[in-house]
């Protein structure tokens, strides 16, 4: 049986590699002095809300996606990166460009350092650049929270001590794409390439420096029914909170270009999760975790065909409720939502599980 | 304990069966859906994921491979079918993945022989898996005791649906076949025809949730249409306008209507199956959409052997063959092929007379054929046995007069407008060329045809060795001038070919040709040797006696021969249509499949068969109730209804 699972995994990896195809070779060469994206949102910062600056650095991209392992089945953030690695100085310049957006904002502020890969991977983000970026933040007293993202491999003792020593008293979180606590789901459905143990180890390492881990939980990787997805995400939320993750961020799959998920979606074999599913995960997840753990969700492409969506009529109201809940952590925000399509979703939950027929959007339209 | 037993009666691969799950007994074909109050179907739910009220479900699905499900101990206490774990949405990942899914299910069963009894288990057949590979795995599942398989349909009627249908034809004949997925009502007759025993109606619920009302062939989005259709069903009758109906009421109404639509189509299909007219229903549904038509064409082309094996060789009532969807139906194609293989013209035929078919069947009862018959008699008198009357028709090709009562020649009904499409023409041309090749080059072909029939003869001409004389130049074949011309030509030929008055051979020709058609070439002269004494009136009943012992009789109403014990003994040495019975003695009026390990694979339901015992002697003759391969594979069920047995 284990042998069969390994072979299933290798089929999925080769399908994922094939779906990615030559897309990486045709990556754009970006302006190395500008970030791929940066924006400001209202965000949960500690126990209150404030403005958060998110910066997506333009780098050569995630080591897992760059490598031979095929990358994750749903992710093509790699394509946001640039084909030529920016120098340390250029990365610092990217950060300065983004930071200027915070000029008129007031405390508390949060800065989120994203790279579409691992901020802590020195191959992707040279150490000089990392230090310089962190030092810039350290000089700004308005910033009380810093979030970086990394695969667990790079959450090393030296890296976490560096973060702590430069950022001092600030609340620090490392976002790790745990995706699922179920080993099969993470390794096969997502092709994530690291184990639960790797994740737990990273968590312990971070904890030594009083650095929190923000666990990213993926809602509905491919090859799962809608109900599988709910059960798996709720369990993952609960278990990662039990492991002392400081924040759990649930992320419904969205259809990115040149991914296995996109190919399945095109073939009518995958549907992004319903927003009802997201609501369900948040409701159940919230009731099963300690109060001090934040449970947040900012669904990408929500309400669109490529993102988590419902019937089209209720999407905006449900998305608003999800965002409200993420800010206030009040389950009442998720109450009172209703729409005719909820019946359809309930049917899908039951029927897909029995028949394994994928209720895609192909037939009746949205 | 779960037992699936196939009962008597076939209409194509469609069959009536009985599924026993402890105390629950369901006759199949049956619908399957989620549990509801008063559900008229097999219910399904997911292991440990459903409310406690679902735990009585008759089918329990195990969660997918990626979900953990180590605690399956409680399954032994249930009497449900168990759907084995698989992976959704993986059909595009190719053969290797498909094979791994089977391999996983097999491993799963082998690791849990106690908690998951194989005889309850349903293998989920991966969409698109190679048939040969599937068969290899199925024999392993069979050895473990598995007797059911499920298939995934999506109603897109494309390659996935075709794949599932084709794979269904590859499972052992005595397995229960379950169709899951999205199945629109118009697909039901086809699925039942193809031998699916359980059909998922989940679509009734999802359509209702989307405000879609399902009809036999079409769907109606009740909130979007300009004109809501009238429905007199018990659910819809109280609704004037769905747009003004409260949501709960609308949902309940549409769900009720949709479920009833499945029940209605199911019941119609079963009723047609009992009448032997399910194929007609299937053909009529091809007009639901072009893709439905293509799907049936592809099925006819690619799994003909499967369809044909279960198609009875006898039938009652009219057999409508309406359009191109009938041209390659198993009954029609089998007739054409058997005619080529099994018919040999009697040696005394010197003139081949080509005639048009008649709307009325059998042909010789029609006005037009009675006129032909008079013209022939006027022309050639008592030498009419030297004429091979040959009827051209669509889509069966050509029919020798001797076989005009054979099934389905006396039963088929086609639209008679005189227009032939290209395919019909080419089918007839091909049949005609092959038929005439069986006659000597010296035979004279008279073509008493006009219109489309004449086009066929014209088109065939270059591939025909014999000389052809047209006897109704330009006029209708039934017109006085044409008939007179036919008479004159025959008179001419009679003297030119020096045809003498011969003894009347009509009875012998008919019985021998029928025997050859029924049992294969060469059986005619064994059952009806030259010394045979034939008694009776053709087209009522003719008995054949050899030295005072009857060998067989010809029943005009069915166009078939029934054998006596002596007849059975005469053809038994050919080893055709022989069923080998393992028992010592036949008790009662039938033999059952459990007693048969060997039977001629050519045997079809409805065939006249010879039952041979272990000592190689004939024990009985009778009528088969199933196909030869079924008799060998089945552990249960009536194989042969005995007509005569050894005293």
* Class of residue B111 by CB neighbours under 10 A (exposed 0-12, middle 13-18, buried 19+): exposed
- ipTM field: 0.92
Mutant choice from B60, B66, B90, B248 vs A, greatest count of A C-beta within 10 A? B66
Could you give the count of Cα atoms lying within 13 Å of B499 in the half-sphere of its Cβ? 24
Instruction: Give the predicted TM-score (pTM) of the model.
Output: 0.94
Pairing of strands A247-252, A212-219: parallel
If you count them, how many residues does chain A have? 366
Shortest alpha-carbon distance between residue A334 and chain B (Å): 22
Report the 3 state secondary structure along B249-265. HHHHHHHHHHHHHHHHH
Indicate the SS3 state at residue B469: strand
What is the token pair recorded at A125?
A: 């983000």
- Decide if A275 is inside a domain: yes
CB neighbour burial string for B413-441, b if at least 16 within 10 angstroms, e if fewer: ebeeeeebeeebbebbbbbbbbbbebbee
Q: Taking CB atoms and an 8 Å limit, are A364 and B45 in contact across chains?
A: no
Find residues 306-335 of chain A whose CB sits inside 8 Å of chain B: none
Q: Domain containing A32: what range?
A: 2-355
Q: What rounded mean pLDDT belongs to chain B?
A: 93
Who among B111, B210, B211 is closest to A1 (CB)?
B111
Find residues 19-58 of chain A whose CB sits inside 8 Å of chain B: none
Q: Which of B121, B217, B135, B218 is nearest to B170 (CA)?
A: B135
The CATH architecture to which B2-302 belongs is Alpha-Beta Barrel (3.20)
Who among A189, A231, A344 is closest to B209 (CB)?
A344
Q: Where are the domains of chain B?
A: 2-302, 343-496, 520-645
Minimal-distance CA residue of chain A relative to B110: A1
Contacting residues of A for B200, CB less than 8 Å apart: 355
pLDDT, tens digit, 9 for 90 and up, residues A40-69: 998 888 778 899 999 999 999 899 988 888
What is the token pair recorded at A271?
A: 């549907």
Minimal-distance CA residue of chain B relative to A18: B93
DSSP line for B123-169: EEPPTT--HHHHHHHHHHHHHHT--EEEEEE-SS-SHHHHHHHHHHT
Contacting residues of A for B247, CB less than 8 Å apart: 340
Indicate the SS3 state at residue A65: helix
Q: Taking CB atoms and an 8 Å limit, are A355 and B152 in contact across chains?
A: yes
A vs B, Cβ pairs < 8 A, gives: 137
Minimal-distance CA residue of chain B relative to A229: B67
Q: A85 near A59, Cβ under 8 Å?
A: yes
- pLDDT tens string, chain A, 366 residues long: the values are 889 999 999 999 999 999 988 777 777 778 889 999 999 998 888 778 899 999 999 999 899 988 888 889 999 888 877 888 899 999 999 999 999 999 999 989 999 999 989 999 999 999 999 999 999 999 999 999 999 999 999 999 999 999 999 999 999 999 999 999 999 999 999 999 999 999 999 999 999 999 999 999 999 999 999 999 999 999 999 999 999 888 999 999 999 999 999 999 999 999 999 999 999 999 999 999 999 999 999 999 999 999 999 999 999 999 999 999 999 999 999 999 999 999 999 999 999 999 999 999 876 543
Q: Taking CB atoms and an 8 Å limit, are A223 and B66 in contact across chains?
A: yes
Shortest alpha-carbon distance between residue B180 and chain A (Å): 5
pLDDT, tens digit, 9 for 90 and up, residues B437-477: 999 999 999 999 999 999 999 999 999 999 999 998 778 89
Who among A11, A182, A340 is closest to B66 (CB)?
A182
CA angle B552, B553, B554 (to 5 degrees): 130
Find residues 64-103 of chain A whose CB sits inside 8 Å of chain B: none
- Decide if A360 is inside a domain: no
Who among B90, B107, B153 is closest to A223 (CB)?
B90
Packed helices B290-302 and B278-285: angle between N→C axes, nearest 10 degrees: 130
pLDDT of residue B54: 57
Who among A228, A340, A351 is closest to B67 (CB)?
A228
- Decide if A362 is inside a domain: no
Q: Is A356 left (phi over 0), alpha (psi -120 to 50) or beta?
A: left
Give Cβ neighbours of residue A72 (< 8 Å, ≥ 6 apart): A16, A64, A65, A177, A179, A190, A191, A192, A259
- Whole-angstrom distance, CA of residue B293 vs CA of residue B283: 8
- Whole-angstrom distance, CA of residue A41 vs CA of residue A23: 31
Pairing of strands B121-124, B24-28: unpaired
* Alpha helix (H) residue ranges in B520-619: 523-527, 565-571
pLDDT, tens digit, 9 for 90 and up, residues B323-381: 999 999 999 999 999 999 999 999 999 999 999 999 999 999 999 999 999 999 999 88
A15 close contact with B: CB closer than 8 A: yes
Who among B86, B180, B206 is closest to A359 (CB)?
B206
Give Cβ neighbours of residue A58 (< 8 Å, ≥ 6 apart): A30, A31, A32, A34, A35, A36, A80, A81, A82, A86, A94
pLDDT of residue B573: 95
- Whole-angstrom distance, CA of residue A296 vs CA of residue A198: 23
Minimal-distance CA residue of chain A relative to B156: A363
Contacting residues of B for A354, CB less than 8 Å apart: 34, 44-46, 59, 61, 83, 180, 202
Contacting residues of A for B104, CB less than 8 Å apart: 1, 4, 8
Residues facing residue B386 across a β-bridge: none
- Whole-angstrom distance, CA of residue B454 vs CA of residue B471: 11
- Whole-angstrom distance, CA of residue A359 vs CA of residue A262: 16
Indicate the SS3 state at residue A123: coil
Q: Taking CB atoms and an 8 Å limit, are A8 and B94 in contact across chains?
A: no
Is 70 exceeded by the pLDDT of residue B61? yes
CA angle B149, B150, B153 (to 5 degrees): 150
Contacting residues of A for B93, CB less than 8 Å apart: 11-12, 15
Q: Which of A146, A131, A148, A53 is nearest to A89 (CA)?
A: A131
A182 close contact with B: CB closer than 8 A: yes
Q: Which DSSP helix (H) or strand (E) runs through B547?
A: none
CA angle B138, B139, B142 (to 5 degrees): 85
CATH superfamily of B520-645: PUA domain (2.30.130.10)
- Decide if A365 is inside a domain: no
The CA-to-CA distance between both ends of chain B, in Å, stands at 40
Q: Taking CB atoms and an 8 Å limit, are A344 and B91 in contact across chains?
A: no
Confidence of residue B141 (pLDDT cuts 50, 70, 90): very high
What is the token pair recorded at B434?
A: 């092959």
Q: A221 near A35, Cβ under 8 Å?
A: no
Pairing of strands B30-33, B42-46: parallel
Q: Taking CB atoms and an 8 Å limit, are B154 and A268 in contact across chains?
A: yes
Find residues 249-268 of chain A whose CB sits inside 8 Å of chain B: 263-264, 267-268
CB neighbour burial string for B328-355, b if at least 16 within 10 angstroms, e if fewer: bbbbbbbbbebbeebbebbebbbbbbbb
Q: Please report the sign of the dihedral spanned by the C-alpha atoms of residue B108, residue B109, residue B110, residue B115.
A: positive
pLDDT of residue A346: 95
- Whole-angstrom distance, CA of residue B41 vs CA of residue B177: 15
Contacting residues of B for A270, CB less than 8 Å apart: 89
Shortest alpha-carbon distance between residue B253 and chain A (Å): 14
Tell me the residue ranges of DSSP E strands in B279-386. 319-320, 351-356
The total of other beta-carbon atoms located within 10 Å of residue A79's CB is 20
What is the token pair recorded at A207?
A: 């904890």
Contacting residues of B for A70, CB less than 8 Å apart: none
pLDDT, tens digit, 9 for 90 and up, residues A150-161: 999 999 999 999
Q: Taking CB atoms and an 8 Å limit, are A364 and B88 in contact across chains?
A: no
Please give the residue that has the higher pLDDT: either A77 or B14: B14
User: What does the DSSP 8-state code read for residue B499?
Assistant: P
CB neighbour burial string for A303-341, b if at least 16 within 10 angstroms, e if fewer: beebbbbbbeebbeebbebbbebbbebeeebbeebebbb
Confidence of residue B221 (pLDDT cuts 50, 70, 90): very high
Q: Please report the sign of the dihedral spanned by the C-alpha atoms of residue B68, residue B71, residue B76, residue B77.
A: negative
Who among A268, A270, A356 is closest to B86 (CB)?
A356
User: What does the DSSP 8-state code read for residue B13?
Assistant: B
A340 close contact with B: CB closer than 8 A: yes
Find residues 193-222 of chain A whose CB sits inside 8 Å of chain B: 222
Q: B589 near B564, Cβ under 8 Å?
A: no
Give Cβ neighbours of residue A250 (< 8 Å, ≥ 6 apart): A216, A217, A218, A219, A233, A237, A278, A281, A282, A285, A295, A296, A297
CA angle B569, B573, B576 (to 5 degrees): 95
Contacting residues of A for B92, CB less than 8 Å apart: 15, 263-264, 267, 269
pLDDT, tens digit, 9 for 90 and up, residues B161-205: 999 999 999 999 999 999 999 999 999 999 999 999 999 999 999
Q: Taking CB atoms and an 8 Å limit, are B100 and A351 in contact across chains?
A: no
Contacting residues of A for B89, CB less than 8 Å apart: 222-223, 264, 269-270, 358
Who among B49, B64, B92 is closest to A224 (CB)?
B64
- Whole-angstrom distance, CA of residue A235 vs CA of residue A232: 5
What is the token pair recorded at B280?
A: 């007609």
pLDDT of residue B74: 59
CATH of the domain at A318: 3.20.20.70
The CA-to-CA distance between both ends of chain A, in Å, stands at 39
Who among A340, A347, A357 is closest to B154 (CB)?
A357
B343-496 folds as Rossmann fold (3.40.50)
What is the token pair recorded at B29?
A: 């074909």
Q: Taking CB atoms and an 8 Å limit, are A354 and B202 in contact across chains?
A: yes
Who among A8, A225, A341 is closest to B97 (CB)?
A8
Who among A343, A354, A358 is closest to B45 (CB)?
A354
Q: Taking CB atoms and an 8 Å limit, are B91 and A269 in contact across chains?
A: yes
Tell me the residue ranges of DSSP E strands in B105-172. 121-124, 148-153
Contacting residues of A for B49, CB less than 8 Å apart: 227, 231, 353
- Phi and psi of B293, rounded to 5°? -65, -45
Q: B178 near B164, Cβ under 8 Å?
A: no
Q: B352 near B446, Cβ under 8 Å?
A: yes
Minimal-distance CA residue of chain A relative to B201: A351
Report the 3 state secondary structure along A131-189. HHHHHHHHCCCCEEEEEEECCHHHCCHHHHHHHHHHHCCCEEEEEEEEECCCHHHHHHH
Q: A224 near A359, Cβ under 8 Å?
A: no
Domain count, chain A: 1
A355 close contact with B: CB closer than 8 A: yes
Q: Taking CB atoms and an 8 Å limit, are B182 and A15 in contact across chains?
A: no
- Whole-angstrom distance, CA of residue A232 vs CA of residue B330: 50
């Amino acid at each position: 049986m284990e042998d069969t699972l390994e072979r299933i995994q290798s089929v999925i990896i080769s399908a994922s590699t094939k779906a990615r195809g030559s897309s990486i070779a045709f990556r754009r060469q970006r302006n190395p002095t500008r970030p791929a994206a940066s924006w400001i949102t209202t965000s949960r910062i500690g126990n209150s809300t404030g403005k958060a600056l998110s910066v997506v650095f333009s780098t050569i991209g995630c080591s897992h996606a760059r490598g031979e392992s095929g990358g994750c089945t749903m992710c093509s953030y790699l394509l946001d990166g640039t084909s030529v690695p920016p120098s340390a100085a250029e990365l610092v310049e990217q950060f300065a460009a983004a930071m200027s957006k915070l000029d008129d904002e007031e405390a508390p502020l949060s800065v989120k350092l994203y790279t579409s890969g691992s901020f802590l991977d020195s191959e992707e983000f040279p150490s000089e650049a990392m230090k310089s970026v962190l030092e810039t933040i350290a000089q700004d007293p308005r910033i009380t929270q810093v979030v970086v993202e990394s695969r667990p491999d790079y959450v090393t003792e030296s890296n976490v001590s560096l973060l702590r020593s430069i950022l001092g008293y600030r609340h620090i979180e490392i976002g790790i794409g745990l995706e699922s606590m179920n080993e099969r789901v993470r390794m096969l459905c997502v092709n994530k390439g690291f184990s639960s143990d790797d994740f737990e180890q990273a968590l312990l390492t971070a904890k030594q420096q009083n650095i929190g881990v923000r666990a990213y939980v993926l809602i509905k990787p491919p090859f799962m029914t809608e109900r599988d997805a709910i059960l798996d995400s709720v369990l993952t939320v609960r278990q990662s909170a039990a492991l002392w993750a400081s924040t759990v961020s649930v992320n419904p799959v969205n259809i990115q270009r040149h991914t296995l998920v996109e190919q399945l979606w095109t073939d009518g074999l995958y549907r992004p999760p319903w927003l009802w599913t997201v609501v369900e995960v948040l409701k159940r997840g919230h009731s099963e975790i300690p109060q001090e753990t934040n449970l947040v969700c900012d669904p990408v492409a929500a309400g669109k065909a490529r993102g988590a969506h419902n019937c089209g009529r209720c999407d905006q109201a449900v998305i608003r409720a999800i965002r409200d809940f993420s800010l206030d952590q009040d389950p009442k925000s998720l109450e009172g939502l209703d729409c005719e399509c909820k019946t359809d979703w309930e049917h899908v939950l039951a029927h897909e599980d029995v028949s394994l027929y994928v209720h895609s959007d192909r037939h009746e339209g949205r | 304990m779960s037992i699936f037993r196939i009962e008597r009666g076939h209409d194509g691969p469609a069959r009536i069966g009985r599924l026993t799950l402890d105390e629950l007994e369901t006759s199949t074909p049956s619908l399957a859906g989620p549990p509801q109050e008063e559900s008229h179907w097999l219910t399904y739910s997911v292991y440990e994921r459903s409310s406690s009220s679902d735990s009585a479900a008759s089918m329990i699905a195990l969660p997918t491979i990626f979900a953990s499900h180590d605690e399956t101990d409680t399954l032994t206490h249930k009497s449900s079918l168990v759907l084995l774990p698989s992976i959704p949405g993986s059909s595009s990942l190719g053969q290797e993945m498909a094979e791994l899914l089977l391999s996983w299910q097999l491993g799963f069963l082998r690791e849990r022989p106690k908690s998951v009894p194989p005889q309850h288990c349903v293998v989920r057949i991966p969409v698109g898996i190679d048939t040969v590979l599937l068969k290899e795995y199925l024999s392993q599942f069979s050895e473990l005791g598995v007797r059911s398989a499920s298939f995934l349909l999506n109603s897109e009627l494309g390659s996935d649906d075709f794949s599932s249908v084709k794979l269904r034809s590859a499972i052992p004949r005595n397995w229960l076949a379950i169709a899951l997925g999205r199945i629109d009502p118009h697909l039901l007759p086809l699925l039942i025809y193809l031998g699916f025993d359980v059909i998922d109606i989940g679509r009734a619920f999802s359509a209702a949730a989307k405000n879609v009302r399902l009809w036999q062939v079409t769907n109606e989005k009740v909130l979007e249409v300009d004109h809501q259709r009238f429905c007199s069903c018990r659910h819809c009758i109280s609704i004037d306008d769905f747009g003004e109906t409260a949501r709960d009421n609308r949902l309940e109404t549409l769900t009720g209507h949709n479920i009833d639509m499945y029940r209605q189509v199911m019941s119609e299909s079963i009723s047609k199956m009992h009448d032997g007219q399910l194929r007609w229903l299937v053909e009529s549904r091809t007009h639901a959409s072009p893709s439905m038509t293509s799907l049936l064409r592809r099925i006819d082309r690619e799994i003909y052997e499967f369809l044909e094996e279960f198609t009875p060789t006898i039938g009652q009532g009219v057999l409508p063959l309406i359009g191109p969807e009938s041209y390659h139906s198993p009954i029609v194609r089998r007739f054409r092929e058997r005619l080529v293989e099994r018919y040999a013209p009697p040696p005394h035929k010197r003139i081949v007379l080509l005639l048009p078919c008649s709307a009325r069947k059998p042909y010789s009862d029609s006005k037009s054929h009675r006129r032909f018959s008079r013209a022939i008699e006027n022309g050639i008198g008592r030498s009419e046995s030297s004429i091979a009357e040959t009827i051209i028709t669509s889509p069966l090709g050509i029919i020798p007069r001797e076989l005009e009562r054979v099934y389905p020649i006396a039963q088929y009904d086609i639209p008679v407008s005189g227009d032939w499409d290209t395919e019909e023409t080419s089918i007839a041309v091909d049949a005609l060329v092959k038929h005439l090749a069986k006659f000597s080059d010296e035979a004279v072909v008279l073509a008493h045809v006009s219109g489309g029939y004449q086009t066929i003869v014209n088109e065939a001409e270059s591939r025909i060795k014999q000389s052809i004389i047209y006897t109704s130049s330009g006029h209708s074949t039934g017109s006085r001038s044409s008939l007179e011309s036919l008479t004159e030509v025959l008179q001419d030929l009679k003297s030119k070919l020096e045809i003498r008055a011969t003894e009347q051979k009509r009875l012998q020709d008919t019985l021998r040709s029928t025997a050859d058609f029924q049992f294969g070439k060469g059986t005619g002269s064994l059952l009806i040797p030259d010394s045979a004494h034939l008694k009776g009136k053709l087209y009522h009943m003719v008995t054949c006696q050899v030295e005072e012992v009857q060998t067989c009789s010809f029943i005009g109403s069915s166009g078939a021969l029934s054998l006596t014990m002596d007849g059975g003994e005469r053809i038994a040495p050919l080893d055709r249509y022989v069923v080998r019975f393992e028992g010592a003695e036949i008790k009662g009026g039938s033999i059952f499949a459990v007693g048969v390990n060997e039977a001629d694979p050519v045997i079809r339901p409805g065939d006249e068969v010879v039952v041979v015992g272990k000592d190689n002697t004939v024990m009985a003759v009778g009528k088969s109730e199933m196909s030869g391969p079924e008799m060998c594979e089945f552990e249960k069920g009536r194989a042969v209804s005995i007509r005569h047995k050894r005293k």
